[in-house]
Amino acid sequence: MNNMHNVWAKRFEHYIGEVMKYMRFVFTGHIAIVLVFIAGAGGYQYSEWLKVVSTDFPAEWIIAVMIGALIALSRPVTLIKEPDQVYLLPLESQMPGYFKKAMNWTFWSQVLIPVVLCIIAIPLLKAVTELSAAEIWMNVLFIAILKWFNVRGEFYYRYVNRGHSIGLDRVVRMVVSILAIQMMLTNGLIGIVFLIMLVFYNITLQKRMQNNPVPYEHFIKLEQNRMMRFYRFANYFTDVPHLKGSVKRRAWLDFAYKAISFKKENTQAFLIYRTFIRTDDHFYLWVRLTVISAIIAMFITIPFVTWIVVGALAFATTLQLKYALMSAGDFRMDMLYPIPRDTRKQAVAKLLRQLSIVQAIIVTVCAIMQPQFYIIPFVIIGVSELTMRMSK
């Protein structure tokens, strides 16, 4: 390949293929059903709340803070690979064209969420403000423009400073973006003043970028971390062969081992408990799904919807942890000892039952103010037990 246009086209094609390969395992049938129920229940409660919302509700500030903070997080997608710092040196004069395509993709892949949030907030703005429909839609366009300059601002800053003190850059852009959105919602076109400030900030960084070499090391590390986060997310739904999990000590959970008596038949139980507690992928999977269940149970007031959602998440928790703990293919020292094969399965089942009970307690406590909350633990424990027994 003798030009960067072809390099970007090939890499982008491979990247989309890689994402689609794993995303088809993420958005499966049961996940789609859960999302539909969550969206329906959330929309119903949102519409009911709008009927009683006070006219002095600070909607402008809340919307500005949420969307302003979101658009300031504009991590660039460059698709740079480790060999590029050697093999792309002869084409470095063409790198501005490559990075232009990278920034365009970064914008289009990230602008949807803040725009959708702004559209969702339109009924709230109509209920508590005097903004016309034209003014509200102009704000939607304004948010997209802010995102455009935030994407370029973060890229230019990373290029010039090799990513050092990126948090400070984000805070500056976040404050400017929040004030710009808030002013546009309350004082009309005054918000454009803050947009102009952001434009000048970008121009200053772009000028400084001209005489700097391409920071390959920083962009390579950034891209590797970004793809690793995606693979970790996909690994919750399917096996990602080249994913390397991380392990942490978590000494504050050592008390969990004391419940396991020092006996030969408890060898697998001790190993399973340690594997779950110390492996980030397993531990944070349970924490994440439990927190999501708790939040949903806390805010959704429709019992039937709550039961379906927490049941689906209990199913996902049990199924994924069972497969993860049972399918470990690494060599273990316990394989050298005369321990019955079914003891591992029994140990996994014991751990999953205890985790389902803890999950049920946490979710029930969070839902204690909701109607018929006492049904939730039976749903979680029952679904978990059925999943454990019926899955292979």
Q: Mind listing the pLDDT tens digit for each residue in 288-327?
A: 889 989 988 888 888 888 888 899 889 989 988 888 888 6
Q: What pLDDT does residue 56 have?
A: 85
Q: Kindly state whether residues 206 and 135 are assigned to the same domain.
A: yes
Q: Based on the domain organization, do 146 and 267 belong to the same domain?
A: no
Residue 125 has pLDDT above 60, yes or no: yes
pLDDT band at 251; cut points 50, 70, 90: confident
Neighbours of 188 (CB within 10 A): 12
Residue 142 has pLDDT above 70, yes or no: yes
Q: How many domains does the chain have?
A: 2
User: Do 114 and 210 sit in the same domain of this protein?
Assistant: yes
Q: Are residues 119 and 213 in the same domain?
A: yes
Higher pLDDT among residues 296 and 67, named by residue = 67
- 311 is a domain residue: yes
Give a yes or no: residue 244 inside a domain. Answer: no
Domain match, 77 and 225 both: yes
- At residue 218 the predicted structure's pLDDT band, cuts being 50, 70 and 90, is very high
140 and 85 assigned to the same domain: yes
Average pLDDT over residues 332-354: 76
For residue 293, the enclosing domain spans 251-328+338-390
196 and 292 fall within a common domain = no
Residue with the bigger pLDDT between 200 and 52: it is: 200
Q: What is the pLDDT of residue 304?
A: 84
Q: Are residues 66 and 120 in the same domain?
A: yes
Per-residue confidence (pLDDT) for residue 380, from 0 to 100: 94
Q: Report yes or no: 367 and 373 within 8 Å, Cβ to Cβ.
A: yes
Query: 364 and 298 in one domain?
Result: yes
**Per-residue confidence (pLDDT) for residue 245, from 0 to 100:** 64
Stated pTM of the model: 0.77
Examine residue 343 and state whether it is found in any structural domain, yes or no. Answer: yes
Q: What's the pLDDT at 168?
A: 93
The stretch 176-185 carries a mean pLDDT of: 93
Question: Residue 334: is its pLDDT beyond 70?
Answer: no
The answer to whether position 79 is within a domain reads yes
Same domain, 361 and 261: yes
**Mean pLDDT for the stretch of residues 252-257:** 81
Looking at the structure, do residues 194 and 61 belong to the same domain, yes or no? yes
Report if residue 84 sits inside a domain: yes
The dihedral sign for the CA sequence 156, 144, 123, 64: positive
R_g of the chain, CA atoms, integer Å: 25
Are residues 45 and 299 in contact, defined by beta-carbon separation less than 8 angstroms?
yes
Q: Would you say residue 242 lies in a domain?
A: no
State whether 49 and 161 are in the same domain.
Answer: yes
- Reported in sequence order, the residue ranges of 59-125 that DSSP labels E, i.e. its strands, are none
Residue whose structure tokens are 């992928």: 281
The answer to the question of residue 42 being in a domain is yes
Q: What Cα–Cα distance (Å) separates residue 219 from each residue in 43, 86, 224?
A: 40, 14, 8
- Region of residue 77 (phi > 0: left; psi between -120 and 50: alpha; otherwise: beta): beta
pLDDT band at residue 156, thresholds of 50, 70 and 90?
very high
